[in-house]
Chain A
Amino acid sequence: GDQVEQSPSALSLHEGTDSALRCNFTTTMRSVQWFRQNSRGSLISLFYLASGTKENGRLKSAFDSKERRYSTLHIRDAQLEDSGTYFCADMANYGNEKITFGAGTKLTIKP
């Protein structure tokens, strides 16, 4: 089955720093979606990409359009409210509409 590898598994940063989270897929993907889950358990969709890059404030995500096996989420100028667990989820390119979640990156922002 599909394998979604997220790295790093955990990351601790100080406020104001930048970071990059990564998502690798073992097969080509139709699309990728990034989520953030807060401490209360709510899952918020950050980006949905079928190709290219998207940006929203301090967050930017890219999906490798050529190989379709790699995606990144960049966080610029990290703030305390960015803390949470970040998941990437992908939809395979072979007609299966299900999405598969990575194991997540637990991000902690320190003052």
Chain B
Amino acid sequence: SVLLYQKPNRDICQSGTSLKIQCVADSQVVSMFWYQQFQEQSLMLMATANEGSEATYESGFTKDKFPISRPNLTFSTLTVNNARPGDSSIYFCSSRTGLYAEQFFGPGTRLTVL
């Protein structure tokens, strides 16, 4: 299995500001992902974080709004730019050790934008 740590656990920020969320895995992982979950809803895949290259974004998510970095096989950051109240949600990082292996999730970062 893989243990994922996220920082911060939660944050409250003002509209128009930017917030960075960090994710660290306890071992090198092949794939890393970022998910968004609004209250009482399911998880939505935002992007796949690719080591040493640009992230691959899903429909509805852009690199300008949600830039993602992945400098190595254990670390990734998600930034929320120009935060709006509609961005208030839980953000999860996730990873798996193999292409079709079990997937694990970090504890989530609960973001509230005022």
Contact = CB atoms under 8 A, between A and B. Distances in A.
Nearest to A48: B102
A42 B107 contact: yes
Interface stretch (A60-68, A76-84, A93-101): A93-101
Nearest to A47: B102
A31 B100 contact: yes
A18 B42 CA distance: 24
Nearest to B109: A41
A89 interface: yes
Nearest to B58: A98
Interface residues of A, number: 21
A43 B42 contact: no
A103 interface: yes
Nearest to B48: A98
Given A43-B92, A45-B104, A45-B105, A97 B99 contact: yes
Contact of A41 (B44, B90, B99): B90
A43 B108 contact: yes
Contacts of B104: 45
B107 A101 contact: no
B43 A41 contact: no
A97 B105 CA distance: 16
Contacts of B48: 98
Interface in A13-69: 30-31, 33, 35, 41-43, 45, 48, 50
Given A41-B107, A42-B108, A98-B45, 15 more contacts: A33-B103, A35-B105, A41-B108, A43-B43, A45-B103, A45-B104, A48-B101, A48-B102, A50-B100, A87-B42, A97-B31, A98-B48, A101-B44, A102-B42, A103-B41
